[in-house]
Amino acid sequence: MKTRIDSPIGPIVLAATSSGLTHACFESRPQSVHSAPEAKDPDARKHLDAACQVLFEYFEGERSGFDDLVLAPEGTSFQQRVWRALRSLPYGRTTTYGQVARRIRQPSAVRAVGLANGRNPIPIIVPCHRVIGANGSLTGYGGGLDRKAWLLRHEGVH
């Protein structure tokens, strides 16, 4: 099941199944959003409604975490580990790819962490925008560096 919301940084397409939220992609991002057939699935609708509400609260500055959402992104076991580590990143703070690699106990997997970060199907909620280069620079972001900078400013990171 899918829905689209408007945000201060552009439209976001959300998708969910009965298992949880599977995607929250910027509409301009060239990533296909797969979801279950558009049948009336009350569990998928519940996950979409919850995601819409928390994103609205986030953009209004009323929310700093998304722990109450049920997520069901598809990915390899390594990607899942990286995405879990990203979910633990505090609001308003940044980290580096190397620090994430150390957090998942694979310190030499910095590039693989970067690739998993780039394949994150639920940006903002799985806060890949909080990962920056070792030198403090804003590095790649699937939604574009302008959006990454906006999100970090929104969270008070300068």
Report the catalytic residues. 128
CB 100 within 8 A of CB 86: yes
Phi/psi-derived region of residue 156, left when phi > 0, alpha when psi is between -120 and 50, beta in every other case: left
What is the amino acid identity at position 127? P
Q: Which amino acid is at 28?
A: S
Determine the 3-state secondary structure of 53 from DSSP: helix
5 Rama sector, left if φ>0, alpha if ψ -120 to 50, beta otherwise: beta
SS3 146: helix
